Amino acid sequence: MDRKQAVIFGGGALALIAGIALVARSGETPATPRKETAPSGTVAIAKDIGTAVPSNSGNAVAPPGLDAARPTDCLIEPSQVVRVNSGVEGVVQNIYVDRGDDVQRGQVVAQLYTDVERAAAAAAQARASNPHAERAAASRAAYLATVSQRSDQVSQYLARDVVDEARANAQSAAEERKAAAEEQRVARLEYVQAQRVIGQKTVRSPVNGIVTERRMAPGEYRGADATHILTIAQVDPLNVEVFAPIAQLDAVKVGDEVSIFPEAPVGGKYRARIKVIDRVFDAASGTFGMRLALPNPGNKLPAGLRCRLEIDRKPASIAARPE
């Protein structure tokens, strides 16, 4: 046997051995996958229909929105926060209140300089109350009207241009009389305008409340870029913003009174009336919003407090539950 035949014989033997090994491996029985045991107390698998069934439904926790017994938190806020400003630009002359002061509606809280406007008002008043210009125009108009009438009566003895001139003078005098009367009327309007500007430079509080911010000081210019001079918060009544579980929706309606318990150190129990119940809920938290009106005579209760809401009437989901 030569060298070439030995190589061919060896290669065939190797191929035969590899084929036998491959057939032997494919004939083996596949391993059975191990079954993983489900954790106890979670989910049992129904054999007939293959659906998941809770194994201990008695211990299941209700979603947040369906837990009617969950405490309802709230926040006490001012009913209005007003940024008080003047209606016109100018230099601040005086500010009569400071942060923390109680103010009443209509009270003067700031004043801008009004020297120029007062001078303009005095000049307009003088023109409006001056009757001499209108009287002079009326007298001249009456005289030229008489001259024109006499010229018409003797027009056959006068040159035509003389008669025309008399008529034109009478018409011009009548128009001057109207102009004098109109100027007097405009002067009265200018006086009213100046008074209105003076009034707008007197800043008054639009609400009963407490000054929470003094933005400007005397001497500063209240220009177009100035947002406000003072900030006033109305705290009587107060607003109570509530986000309650959806399960409590059937226990409240607009006009109901509920109990409010402010956080420490204020504490106490107060009665508030429901003003608004939101008609759009928050699906993520399972809550709905309400706004309550809380009377606060004398501004005794501060705003910006957290509180707890207690509804007198239980929702149906709790009332129907056995004790």
3-state secondary structure of 85: coil
Helix (H) or strand (E) holding 140: helix 132-153
Q: If pLDDT is split at 50, 70 and 90, which confidence band does 320 have?
A: very low
pLDDT at res. 154: 73
Residues 198-239 pLDDT 10s:
999 999 999 999 999 999 999 999 998 888 999 999 999 999
Nearest to 139 by CA among 183, 165, 176, 166: 176
50: left (phi over 0), alpha (psi -120 to 50) or beta: left
Tokens of 215: 């933005």
Q: What is the pLDDT of residues 94-133, one digit of tens each?
A: 999 999 999 999 999 999 999 999 999 999 999 888 888 7
pLDDT of amino acid 255: 92
For residue 276, list its beta bridge partners.
Answer: 291
Whether the bond into 265 is cis, omega within 30 of 0: yes
Please choose, from the candidates 277, 313, 243, 248, the residue with its C-alpha nearest in 3D space to the C-alpha of residue 66: 248
C-alpha 309: how far from chain center: 25
What is the structure's pLDDT at 47? 41
Please tell me the predicted confidence (pLDDT) of residue 205.
96
Nearest to 82 by CA among 194, 246, 234, 282: 234
CA 14 centroid distance within chain:
89
Q: pLDDT tens digits for 274-319?
A: 999 999 998 998 899 999 999 999 888 999 999 999 887 655 444 4
How much is the pLDDT for 52? 43
Task: Give the mean pLDDT of 11-27.
Answer: 64
* Domain 72-82+226-319 in CATH 2.40.30.170: yes
Residue 9 pLDDT grade (very low, low, confident, very high; cuts 50, 70, 90): low
Q: For residues 209 and 103, what is the distance between their CA atoms, to the nearest angstrom? A: 6
pTM of the model: 0.62
What is the Cα 158 distance to its own chain's centre?
80
**pLDDT, mean of residues 177-189:** 89
Q: Do 79 and 210 contact (CB within 8 A), yes or no?
A: no
What pLDDT digit, counting tens, does each position of 228-286 carry? 999 999 999 999 999 998 888 888 999 999 999 999 999 999 999 999 999 999 899 88
Between 321 and 299, name the one with better pLDDT. Answer: 299
pLDDT band of residue 50 (cuts 50, 70, 90) is very low
φ, ψ at 71 (rounded to 5°): -60, 145
For the chain, the residue count is 323
Q: HSE (CB half, 13 Å, CA atoms) of 184?
A: 15
pLDDT, residue 139, reads 84
